[in-house]
Structure 1
Amino acid sequence: MVYNLLLVDDEKPIREKLINNTDWTGNDYQVFAAADGAEALEIIKNKGIDILVTDIQMPKLSGMNLIEKARESSSQLKVIVISGFAEFEYAQKSIRFGVNEYLLKPFRSKKLLEVVNKARDELIEEKNNEQRLASLRAEMSSYINENKLNSIYNWLIDDQFFQHQSLIMDRIDLNAVLKRGSRDDILKTVNKIIDELESVDLNREKLYVVLNNLILESFKIIKDLDYRVEDLLEIINKERIEKIDSENLKEIEIILKEFLLRLHDLISFNPDDKNQQIISEMKEYIAANYQDGITLSEMARKFNLSSGHLSNLFHEETGESFSDYLNMIRLNKAKELLKTTDDKIYQIADQLGFNDAYYFSSWFKKLVGASPTTYRDNINLL
Structure 2
Amino acid sequence: MKTLLIVDDEPRTRLGIQKTLVAWAAGKYQIESAASGVEALEWLKTHPVHVIITDVRMPEIDGLQMLETLAARGPLPVVIVISGHAEFEYAKRSLQLGAFDYVLKPVDKSILIDTVQRAFERDSGRDRMDAMEKLVDPKLLEMGRDEARYSSSIKDAIAYIYDRLHDTVGMKQVAEHLHLNPSYFSVLFKEQTGVTFSDYLTRIRLQKAKELLVATRLPIWEIAEKVGYQTVKYFIKVFKDNEGMSPRQYRQQSLDADPSIQ
TM-score after normalising by structure 1: 0.37
Deviations 1:19-62 (A, max 9, x none): 10232541621111111100011111111111110001101111
Provide the aligned length of Structure 1 versus Structure 2.
155
How far is the alpha carbon of 1:70 from its aligned partner?
A: 1.4
Partner SS state of residue 94, structure 1: helix
- Cα RMSD of the aligned pairs, angstroms, is 3.1
Partner of 2:73: 73
Partner of 2:132: 132
Cα distance between partner residues in 2 of 1:147 and 1:111? 60
How far is the alpha carbon of 1:154 from its aligned partner?
A: 4.7
Partner of 1:45: 45
Q: Would the aligned equivalents of 2:81 and 2:94 in 1 still touch at CA under 8 Å?
A: no
Cα distance between partner residues in 1 of 2:62 and 2:55? 8
- Unaligned segments of structure 2, at least 5 residues: 142-160, 172-185, 200-262
Cα distance between partner residues in 1 of 2:74 and 2:24? 22
How far is the alpha carbon of 1:73 from its aligned partner?
A: 3.0
Which residue type is aligned with residue 93 of structure 1? R
Cα distance between partner residues in 2 of 1:131 and 1:72? 24
Aligned positions of 1:1-382 closer than 5 A: 2-22=1-21, 23-26=23-26, 28-137=28-137, 140=140, 150-151=189-190, 152-154=192-194
Deviations 1:158-195 (A, max 9, x none): xxxxxxxxxxxxxxxxxxxxxxxxxxxxxxxxxxxxxx
Deviations 1:205-225 (A, max 9, x none): xxxxxxxxxxxxxxxxxxxxx
Change (3 A) 1:100 1:154: farther
Change (3 A) 1:147 1:72: farther
Runs of 4+ in 1 over 4 A off after TM superposition: 138-141, 143-149
Q: Would the aligned equivalents of 1:24 and 1:30 in 2 still touch at CA under 8 Å?
A: no
How far is the alpha carbon of 1:74 from its aligned partner?
A: 3.9
Higher relative contact order (CA 8 A, sep 6+): 1
Q: Which moved more, 1:104-113 or 1:30-39?
A: 104-113
Cα distance between partner residues in 2 of 1:122 and 1:147? 44
Which residue type is aligned with residue 5 of structure 1? L
Cα distance between partner residues in 2 of 1:154 and 1:53? 47
> Identity over aligned residues, as a percent?
29
Partner SS state of residue 32, structure 2: strand
Q: Would the aligned equivalents of 1:44 and 1:73 in 2 still touch at CA under 8 Å?
A: no
Cα distance between partner residues in 2 of 1:72 and 1:101? 20
How far is the alpha carbon of 1:107 from its aligned partner?
A: 2.8
How far is the alpha carbon of 1:147 from its aligned partner?
A: 6.5
Higher alpha-carbon Rg: 2
- Unaligned segments of structure 1, at least 5 residues: 158-382
Change (3 A) 1:120 1:46: same
Deviations 1:269-305 (A, max 9, x none): xxxxxxxxxxxxxxxxxxxxxxxxxxxxxxxxxxxxx
